[in-house]
Amino acid sequence: MGTTSTRDWILHVDLDQFIAAVELLRHPELRGKPVVVGGSGDPTQPRTVAATATYEAREHGIHSGMPLRTALRRCPEAVFLPSDPPAYEAASERVMAVLREFPVRVEIWGWDEAFLGATTDNPEALAADLRQAVRARTDLDCSVGIGDNKHQAKLASGLAKPAGIYRLTSDNWAEVMYDRPTDALWGIGARISRKLAALGLHTVAQLAAADPADLASRFGPTNGPWYRYLALGKGEAEVVTTPWIARGHSRETTFPHDLTDRADLTRHLTALAEQVAHDATAAGREITLVRVKIRSTPFLTRTRQSKLPHPTTDPATITRTALAILDRHDLTRPIRLVGVSVDYTMPG
């Protein structure tokens, strides 16, 4: 696919194995080796999971979210590194600064991805220039998907990996997507895919041909027709250029051994509440709502929340609110995780 008439396009820039790539820049001697990043970097610690893994580690079946102990069993020779979010955030900011130098509209979706709105007669040439500039300025590789909308562009960048360019539009949607399972669509996960399969809808083509009214009766008036909409390759085409701003923040602790003592739990919760209050101050934001997450054995997770009467960053207020929320939790089971998350005021 080469040049075409000048028109609007959506591009999705997705940094390849981003967290691992940032670590390999700091540890070039590890290139080509199976590397797993997560937790403190100690795979023998219980209840810590992989944030990412290099392609070499993925060949052993290691993936993000996998317990580090499992990763160690699957690949004993893997190198385990601790997670370093500030380093990833700094690397991400460098990449986004490069993208903003191009004649495109940039909508950041997180550390490692952004949608771009562009008007051009050759989106592949623009994508190639973007990839080259990101590589030259940051030493990081990215894949670029090209589409008529965000849904197509997002899927296209996945088809472009690693470090490639792929165009997925209404012109080739059926050819590329129709034989794929429904969970290949962006927005349909394994659970919904299983429910669709139970109705005889196994492929994207079958979902695209499904009766919207039947889907609405099965999945609700909003979700049902939306799944078919996705199967037809439709999606949002607006790129929002307002700066990406975190709407909230969280911290949590997974305990090496289950907690049964209320005083220990209170101590950990207090420390987390004070930390998120300090984080808010450092970010120049105020807190409007506090949540407390408790995970008890065997694996039951519950969240309770309270809205604050006034926005604040006062650690005492945040802590007092968190402890009051804790009283609303069922604490009769041993506790394996506690977390505090907050919502921020939005600027403007």
Residue 87, judged by CB atoms within 10 A of its CB (0-12, 13-18, 19+), counts as middle
Are 208 and 232 a contacting pair, CB within 8 Å? Answer: yes
Phi, psi of 52 (to 5 degrees): -165, 170
Q: What number of residues does the chain have? A: 348
**Taking a C-beta distance cutoff of 8 angstroms, is the pair 299, 212 a contact?**
no
Q: Is 315 exposed, middle or buried (0-12, 13-18, 19+ CB in 10 A)?
A: middle
Show Cβ contacts of residue 267 under 8 Å, excluding neighbours closer than 6 positions.
none
The residues that are catalytic are 113
- Could you give the 3-state DSSP secondary structure of residue 226? helix
For residues 167 and 159, the answer to whether their CB atoms sit within 8 Å is no
DSSP 8-state symbol, 254: E
Residues 204 and 179 sit within 8 Å (Cβ to Cβ): yes
The strand pair at 142-147 and 7-15 is best described as: antiparallel
DSSP per-residue string spanning 174-223: HHHHTTSBGGGSTT--HHHHHHHHHTT--BHHHHHTS-HHHHHHHH-TTH
